C-alpha cells in the first residue's frame, strides 16, 4: 500500500499545482481588471463581464501553452531516458501524459465557455450603451470619436447605433478568429470522444490536426485590441476618480478634465504559445526526418484472426523492450500515422503485429495479403518509450496482456530468451508471471513458438520457475471445453500445444495476487498491463490492496501502457 500512496499523492500534488496555477492566474487577472483604474471607464460600460472575459482568457493562454507538451513524444522519451535513475514515482508521472493532455483540453473548454459567455454579455452591453440616449456616462463613452488628434480614442467597438453585434463579430479580427477558434475546438473535442476515436480513428486523426488552425487563430486573436483601457498619459491628466463624475463638463474649455484617451490591450496569446509551438515544430521536423529513412521489410507473416506480422530493419534503428513506433503506408494514406508496439527484442530486426481494427489496418493487411510486387512501402517514426521499458528494474514482474495487448510483452519475453542465451548476469529480474487473456483460440498461435522456445530454454537451464505463464480463453463453447477436458491428461495442451494448460474464463485476480505476495514477501513487484480500462481498474485496485504497509515487505507497482 505504501508505494501506491506515494504514487497517488505525487499525482495529486502535480494536479493540485496545475489547478492552483489556474486559480491563481484567474483570480489575479480578475482582480486586475476589476480594480485597476486603467479599466474604470471600460467597466462603466461592461461591468464585471470584462474581468470574467479577461481572467478566462489568461487561463486559456496558460493551458494552450501546456496542451502540446504531453504529446511531444520525443521530449517524453528524452525525459524518460534522462530520468532512468530517478525514483519510479517520478518516472511514472510521464506515463500519465495522455491523461494530462485530456485534462488540459477540458480546462481549455471550460475557460472557452466562460470567455464566450462573458463576451456575449460584453457585446450586449456595448450595443445597449451605443443605442442609449439618456446622457449617462456609458452612453457618452460609447459616442467618443473614433479618432482624435490622429490617434484612435474610441472605447466602444460598435461605432454606430445601427451596427449589429453580428456585424462586429464577423468583421473584427477578435470576433472572426474567436468564431474560428471555437469551431476548431468543438470539432477536436467531439472527434476525440472514446467511441469515435476507437471506431472511426481516421476521423479523429484528421480532425485533431485542426489544432494548427486553433493555434494560428489564438496567436492573432488579440491583435485587433477590441478590449481597451485608458492610456497612461490620459490617466495622469484626467484620472477617473477625479473626472468621472464631471463627465458632462468634459467639453468645457475651462474644465481640468478632458475626454479620456483609450488604447487597445496588446496581444498576449502569442507570447504564451510561442515556445511550446517552436518545440512542437522541432518535434515534427525530427519525426519527418526519421520517417524518410529507408525501411526494409525482411519478412511478412499472416497469423490467425487477421493479424499481420511485419519484420523490418532500418539503418541506425535502436530500441528497448516495450517501446512503440508510428507506421505510415503512403499507398493507403500520406498523412495517417498509427502506433504499434514493437514485438521484437532489441537483439533482432524489429517487428510489429497488426490486427484488423479499422479501415486503415484492414487496407494494409489486404495489401500484403495480395502479395503485390513491389510490396507496399512502409515509413517508420520512432521508437518511443513506454512504461514497459522499466520491466527489468523489478525483482518480480507481472505481465498482463489482453488480446493484441500481448505485443509489448512479446518483446520482453523475446529479450529474456536472448539474455539467457547470452548468459546475461546483469539481469535483475528473478521471476516473471505472464497472463494472456484471449477471446479466441487462434490468437494464441501468434506467439506459440516463442512460448515453446522459452519453455525449452528454461528447462535446459534449470530455471523452470523463472517464467510462470497462464493462458486464459474467454470466448469458448461446450465443444471446446469438452474436447480440452477429455485430453487434459496429455503432456501438452490440446489447444496450444504448450505444456501449460489453457484455463477457461478470466483470472481470479485475488488468488493470483495473494499467491505472488506469499511467494515474494519482501520483493518489489512490477505489474504491467496492456488492456482495456475495466482491467486497468481491477489490477490497480489489487496492487493497492496487496501492497504491504511496511515498505520493507512486498510492494506492487502498477504500470499501464498508454500511447
Say if 193 falls within a structural domain. Answer: no
Q: What number of other Cβ atoms are within 10 A of residue 363's Cβ?
A: 15
Task: Report the pLDDT value the prediction gives residue 2, as an integer from 0 to 100.
Answer: 47
In this structure, the answer to whether residues 1 and 126 fall within a common structural domain is yes
In this structure, the answer to whether residues 553 and 437 fall within a common structural domain is yes
Q: Of 285, 314, 338, which closes a domain? A: 285
Say if 432 falls within a structural domain. Answer: yes
DSSP 8-70: HHHHHHHHHHHHHHHHHHHHHHHHHHHH-GGGHHHHHHHTTHHHHHHHHHHHHHHHHHHTTGG
φ and ψ of 34, to 5 deg: -85, -25
Q: What region does 318 belong to: left with phi over 0, alpha with psi -120 to 50, or beta?
A: beta
- The parent domain of residue 347 ranges over 293-384
Query: How many Cα atoms occupy the beta-carbon half-sphere of 422 within 13 Å?
Result: 10
In this structure, the answer to whether residues 252 and 307 fall within a common structural domain is no
Give Rg (Cα) of the chain.
Answer: 31
φ and ψ of 558, to 5 deg: -90, 135
Say if 265 falls within a structural domain. Answer: yes
CA distance 425 to 488: 38
Q: Of 285, 307, 337, which closes a domain? A: 285
The residue among 73, 150, 132, 62 whose CA lies nearest residue 382 is 73
- Mean pLDDT in runs of 10 for the chain (563 residues)? 58 90 96 92 90 95 95 82 57 78 95 94 89 84 70 78 84 90 94 83 87 94 85 86 79 74 88 94 89 88 82 87 88 85 86 84 85 80 81 86 80 81 75 85 71 76 78 73 62 66 84 90 87 86 84 84 67
In this structure, the answer to whether residues 348 and 398 fall within a common structural domain is no
CA distance 251 to 339: 69
pTM: 0.79
The strand order across the sheet containing 338-341 reads 338-341, 324-328, 379-384
Q: Can you list the positions of beta strands (E) in 213-334?
A: 228-230, 262-264, 296-303, 307-313, 324-328
Q: Are 529 and 560 in contact (CB under 8 A)?
A: yes
CA distance 443 to 478: 19
DSSP 393-450: GSSEEEEEEEGGGGHHHHHHHHHHHHHHHTT-TT----EEEEEEEESSGGGGGGSHHH
In this structure, the answer to whether residues 156 and 30 fall within a common structural domain is yes
DSSP 79-104: HHHHTTTS-HHHHHGGGGHHHHHHHH
In this structure, the answer to whether residues 303 and 380 fall within a common structural domain is yes
Angle between helices 173-191 and 211-220 (to 10 degrees): 150
Strand-pairing partners, residue 557, are: 526
In this structure, the answer to whether residues 436 and 492 fall within a common structural domain is yes
Say if 187 falls within a structural domain. Answer: no
Say if 552 falls within a structural domain. Answer: yes
Helix (H) / strand (E) containing 360:
helix 359-369
In this structure, the answer to whether residues 147 and 229 fall within a common structural domain is yes
Say if 551 falls within a structural domain. Answer: yes
Q: Are 400 and 367 in contact (CB under 8 A)?
A: no
CATH number, position 300: 2.40.30.10
Distance of CA 208 to the CA centre of its chain: 12
In this structure, the answer to whether residues 297 and 275 fall within a common structural domain is no
Q: What number of other Cβ atoms are within 10 A of residue 527's Cβ?
A: 23
Say if 337 falls within a structural domain. Answer: yes
CATH number, position 529: 3.40.50.80
In this structure, the answer to whether residues 400 and 548 fall within a common structural domain is yes
How many angstroms separate the Cα of 58 from the Cα of each of 32, 186, 267, 325?
A: 12, 20, 11, 36
Q: What is the tally of structural domains in the chain?
A: 3
SS (H, E, C) 120-169: HHHHHHHHHHHHCCCCCHHHHHHCCCCEECCEECCCCCCCCCCCCHHHHH
In this structure, the answer to whether residues 280 and 167 fall within a common structural domain is yes
In this structure, the answer to whether residues 278 and 305 fall within a common structural domain is no
Task: Report the pLDDT value the prediction gives residue 277, as an integer from 0 to 100.
Answer: 93
Task: Report the pLDDT value the prediction gives residue 483, as an integer from 0 to 100.
Answer: 61
Angle between helices 173-191 and 201-208 (to 10 degrees): 160
Q: Are 406 and 337 in contact (CB under 8 A)?
A: no
How many angstroms separate the Cα of 14 from the Cα of each of 24, 123, 220, 452?
A: 15, 38, 31, 45
Q: Of 285, 314, 332, which closes a domain? A: 285
Q: What number of other Cβ atoms are within 10 A of residue 127's Cβ?
A: 18
CA distance 533 to 249: 70
Q: What region does 439 belong to: left with phi over 0, alpha with psi -120 to 50, or beta?
A: alpha
Say if 180 falls within a structural domain. Answer: no
Amino acid at each position: 500500500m505504501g508505494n501506491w500512496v506515494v504514487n497517488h499523492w505525487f499525482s495529486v500534488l502535480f494536479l493540485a499545482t496545475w489547478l492552483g496555477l489556474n486559480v491563481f492566474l484567474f483570480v489575479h487577472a480578475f482582480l486586475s481588471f476589476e480594480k485597476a483604474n486603467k479599466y474604470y471607464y471600460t467597466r462603466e460600460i461592461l461591468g464585471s463581464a470584462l474581468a470574467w472575459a479577461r481572467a478566462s482568457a489568461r487561463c486559456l493562454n496558460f493551458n494552450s501553452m501546456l496542451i502540446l507538451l504531453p504529446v511531444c513524444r520525443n521530449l517524453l522519451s528524452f525525459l524518460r531516458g534522462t530520468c532512468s535513475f530517478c525514483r519510479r514515482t517520478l518516472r511514472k508521472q510521464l506515463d500519465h501524459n495522455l491523461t494530462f493532455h485530456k485534462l488540459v483540453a477540458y480546462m481549455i473548454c471550460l475557460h472557452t465557455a466562460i470567455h464566450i459567455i462573458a463576451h456575449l454579455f460584453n457585446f450586449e452591453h456595448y450595443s445597449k450603451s451605443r443605442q442609449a440616449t439618456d446622457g449617462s456616462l456609458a452612453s457618452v463613452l460609447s459616442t467618443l470619436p473614433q479618432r482624435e488628434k490622429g490617434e484612435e480614442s474610441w472605447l466602444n467597438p460598435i461605432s454606430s447605433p445601427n451596427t449589429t453585434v453580428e456585424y462586429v463579430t464577423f468583421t473584427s479580427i477578435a470576433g472572426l478568429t474567436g468564431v474560428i477558434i471555437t469551431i476548431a475546438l468543438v470539432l477536436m473535442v467531439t472527434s476525440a470522444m472514446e467511441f469515435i476515436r476507437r471506431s472511426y480513428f481516421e476521423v479523429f486523426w484528421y480532425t485533431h490536426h485542426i489544432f494548427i488552425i486553433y493555434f494560428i487563430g489564438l496567436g492573432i486573436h488579440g491583435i485587433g485590441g477590441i478590449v481597451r483601457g485608458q492610456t497612461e498619459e490620459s490617466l495622469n491628466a484626467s484620472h477617473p476618480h477625479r473626472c468621472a463624475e464631471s463627465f458632462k463638463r468634459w467639453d468645457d474649455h475651462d474644465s481640468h478634465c478632458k475626454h479620456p484617451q483609450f488604447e487597445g490591450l496588446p496581444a498576449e496569446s502569442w507570447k504564451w504559445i510561442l515556445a511550446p509551438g517552436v518545440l512542437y515544430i522541432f518535434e515534427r521536423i525530427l519525426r519527418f526526418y526519421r520517417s524518410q529513412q529507408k525501411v526494409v521489410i525482411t519478412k511478412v507473416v499472416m497469423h490467425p484472426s487477421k493479424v499481420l506480422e511485419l519484420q523490418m530493419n532500418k539503418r541506425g534503428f535502436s530500441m528497448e523492450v516495450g517501446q512503440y513506433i508510428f507506421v505510415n503506408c503512403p499507398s493507403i494514406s500520406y498523412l495517417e500515422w498509427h502506433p504499434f508496439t514493437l514485438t521484437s527484442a532489441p537483439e533482432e530486426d524489429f517487428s510489429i503485429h497488426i490486427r484488423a481494427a479499422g479501415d486503415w489496418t484492414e487496407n494494409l493487411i489486404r495489401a500484403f495479403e495480395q502479395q503485390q510486387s513491389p510490396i507496399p512501402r512502409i515509413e517508420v517514426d520512432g521508437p518511443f518509450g513506454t512504461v514497459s521499458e522499466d520491466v527489468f528494474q523489478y525483482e518480480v514482474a507481472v505481465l498482463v496482456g489482453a488480446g493484441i495487448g500481448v505485443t509489448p510483452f512479446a518483446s520482453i519475453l523475446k529479450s529474456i530468451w536472448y539474455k539467457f542465451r547470452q548468459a546475461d548476469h546483469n539481469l535483475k529480474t528473478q521471476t516473471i508471471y505472464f497472463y494472456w487473456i484471449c477471446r479466441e483460440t487462434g490468437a494464441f498461435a501468434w506467439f506459440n513458438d516463442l512460448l515453446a522456445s522459452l519453455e525449452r530454454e528454461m528447462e535446459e537451464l534449470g530455471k523452470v520457475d523463472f517464467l510462470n505463464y497462464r493462458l486464459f480463453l474467454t470466448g469458448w463453447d461446450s465443444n471446446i471445453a469438452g474436447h480440452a477436458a477429455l485430453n487434459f491428461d496429455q503432456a501438452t495442451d490440446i489447444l496450444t500445444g504448450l505444456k501449460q494448460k489453457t484455463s477457461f474464463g478470466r483470472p481470479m485476480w485475488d488468488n493470483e495476487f495473494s499467491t505472488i505476495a506469499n511467494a515474494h514477501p519482501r520483493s518489489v513487484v512490477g505489474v504491467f498491463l496492456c488492456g482495456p480500462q475495466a482491467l486497468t481498474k481491477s489490477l490497480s485496485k489489487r496492487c493497492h490492496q496487496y501492497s504491504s504497509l511496511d515498505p520493507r515487505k512486498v510492494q506492487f507497482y502498477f504500470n499501464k501502457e498508454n500511447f
